[in-house]
Chains A and B, each alone.
Chain A
Amino acid sequence: MADKTNVPQGADAAGDATAAEGAAAPEPQGTKGAKKAKEPMSVSRRSLLIGVGSTAALLGLGAMRYAGHTPLNRPPGGQDEAHLVSACIRCERCYEACPRRVIVPAKIEDGLLGMRSPMLDFEAEYCDFCQEENGGVPKCVEACPTEALVLPAGASATSTIIGRAVIDTSTCLAYRDTGCRECYDACPYEAIQLTDVSINPHPYVVEDKCNGCGACEFSCVSMKAGSLATTGATRRAIIVQPVGTY
């Protein structure tokens, strides 16, 4: 009952707020113009404006499809670029699922369309198709709820081509006869061979065997061990180029 006692007092206290919307009502002629200016937009017109505006904005955003984006190394099962872009809802499950944290969101600088879609960052790690962690079945593919990452039945690490390693001989340390063979040692698929022309062999990529797993790029020391200083290189001497760019 104590509640009830207090209520009328509080609830009725609105009176003096002369400027308040609702209180602007009668005072017939004089205030009418002023009031009309303040009157909110009619509901149906607002709905229409919101609807048309938003649809236009979303169609404009959709047209980004034609703007495209820089080709990216996609996680296993994401090699059909058109399908990946169509199906990915940016739910971020694959980033979490990746035991090596090699999957990262694509940057906006690579194109608005691809922003936040999954790509592989071989500077951080490489993709072993979850050989160690999940018996060769990529966890990202398992986790993807929209089947944006999808592998055909019987797909294996060797049959799934993410990209292809390319050596930049101008920055590669081995080509400066340092004897570096980090990538050769790292490659799990014997896709990097050494020329036996000298005591300092040079690595080269066997294109048929390379599936773009990124082990070579991950292991490449060129940036740490001199290329940056001597040649002004901005990336490692061996990098994986996405499918379709070679």
Chain B
Amino acid sequence: MAAETKKVAQDLSAKLRTQKLRTAIAAIVFVVMAAGLILGVSTGTMSGFGWESISALCPLGAVATMLATKTMVPRAVISLVIMALLILVVGRAFCAWLCPSMLITRIQEFLRTPKKRRELAAETHDKMVDIAKYEITQAKESAGVKANGLSAKALGATYAAGAGDSAATVAAAATSASPANPINAASAASASAAVATASLSAQDKKALSGCGAGSCTAGCASCASAKQPHKKLDSRHYVLGGALLSTAIFGFPVFCLVCPVGLTFATVLVVWRLFAAGDMTIAVILVPALLIIELVFLRKWCTRFCPLSALMNLVSRFSKTFVPVIDDTKCLETSQGVPCSRCAQVCESDINIRHIAYGERTLADCSRCRNCADVCPTHAISFLVFAGAKAKSGARDGIPAPEAQPATVMLDEDALEVPSA
């Protein structure tokens, strides 16, 4: 059983094709910039990318420098406008495609022992699947009120029972028996799963008693509390506010001293100077140490701390382009009631794209990393060039709009009625 979970976790990481591409792009850009820094080729770093006198400034740096000097700096203003437009088009894509912090996270992942990796993957997996199960149960319940013949409770238990070892096997067998007809397959599975539930050992029952299990149909407290309040401003914005406040009071770009992006390039510089110029300084240790403290010990830096991310969020929340949209007719959960949740498990921005309410962040923070699209077993997620209305009604709220996805409702009802026949 545990082996199954591990398998899923491994499969997911193997499927992240875009992640490899992104990592390669970020690594190449970083190496080119670092080489420029060492060789004196004027490419700039990510704090001020450009050539000769042309620079695209870091938006936070641009704001901070103007705030500190209390003057308008033309190049900073132009950079801000350009950055705002870019963010409006691709959201926080910088975070997933270019930011050196992402590379450090990759290295951190790489350095984990396979055991730890599996544990972490299994933990996320279980959490997300539980949420999906709970949501499915809730959906069944509300639909089940109308259905006659089969009690909602039984059905909820049925779907939840999919978690059981034997149930899963039976379900798979049933599905493979009639692959051409998902509805039949699902109903067959649920029928057999009900049997399986009865024969489960006490320990398995305990395991099953997570969210979505039959025992918490009336609203599982743990899952309901797993819902995240999405306020307009979150902890990152407080950090941003603190950074700007300190900058305004003390009159210098305070955050720039500890910015992880800047510190990454600073690491290159101090290490290079250590060898090239024999420039021994405590910064050789301090700079990388600070970087590690920020990115490793302050958990979820990008989601909870990064003021750059906060600044980008202020614009990216209005972005309607290249956002992921779920096709509910293809999605396993909405079309077949399977708590798949893979998209939520792999999201690098802590978004639960299927059930937005449970993710720490919303689609406003999508970094276009494409992990969700890569792992979706039915290829239901696509990044539309423009997804204005669709994204808003569907994925953004996590609730399929009835007029947009009539198929969902119908499928659910079918699933309810077939077993009773």
Contacts and interface: CB of A to CB of B under 8 A. Distances in A.
B126 A25 contact: no
A16 B220 contact: no
A35 B213 CA distance: 17
Interface stretch (A88-96, A170-178, A205-213): A88-96
A107 B281 CA distance: 7
Given A83-B69, A105-B269, A23 B130 contact: yes
A52 B76 CA distance: 29
A145 B256 CA distance: 15
A47 interface: yes
Contacts of B332: 4, 7-8, 11
Interface string B364-408: 000000000000011000000000000000000000000000000
A52 B265 CA distance: 28
Contact of B282 (A48, A109, A113): A109
B302 interface: no
Interface of B: 1-2, 4-5, 7-8, 11, 36-37, 40-45, 47-48, 50, 52-53, 55, 57-58, 61-62, 64-65, 68-69, 71, 73, 75-76, 79, 122-123, 125-127, 129-131, 162-165, 167-169, 171-172, 175-176, 179-180, 182, 189, 203-204, 206-211, 213, 215-216, 220-223, 225-226, 228-229, 234-235, 238-239, 241-243, 245-247, 249-258, 262, 265-266, 269-270, 273, 277, 279, 281-283, 286, 304-305, 332, 336, 338-342, 360, 377-378
29 contacts: A3-B378, A4-B175, A4-B336, A4-B378, A11-B332, A12-B339, A13-B5, A14-B122, A14-B126, A15-B164, A17-B122, A20-B210, A22-B223, A51-B242, A58-B246, A59-B245, A59-B250, A61-B254, A65-B251, A89-B64, A92-B266, A93-B48, A97-B52, A108-B286, A124-B277, A142-B52, A145-B50, A147-B71, A147-B73
B57 A47 contact: no
Contacts, number: 334
A87 B65 contact: yes
Nearest to B171: A8
Contacts of B182: 4
A90 B165 contact: no
Interface of A: 1-18, 20-27, 35, 39, 43-44, 46-48, 50-52, 54-59, 61-65, 82-83, 85-93, 95-99, 101, 104-105, 107-109, 112-113, 115-116, 121, 124, 139, 142-143, 145-148
B191 to A, nearest CB: 14
Contacts of A64: 250
B207 A17 contact: yes
Contact of B338 (A7, A25, A104, A147): A7
Given A26-B209, A109-B281, A86 B252 contact: yes
Contacts of A27: 206, 209
A36 B241 CA distance: 33
B340 A7 contact: yes
B4 A10 contact: yes
B122 A10 contact: no
The 7 closest A-B pairs by CB, nearest first: A51-B238, A55-B242, A13-B4, A22-B130, A91-B48, A15-B163, A62-B250
Nearest to B283: A108
Contacts of B283: 107-108, 115-116
Contacts of A89: 47-48, 57-58, 61, 64-65, 253, 256, 262
Contacts of B8: 10-11, 13
B168 A107 contact: no
Contacts of A57: 242
A44 B171 CA distance: 40
Contact of A50 (B2, B245, B305): B305
Nearest to A92: B45
A47 B238 contact: yes
B347 to A, nearest CB: 16
A224 to B, nearest CB: 15
A47 B55 CA distance: 34
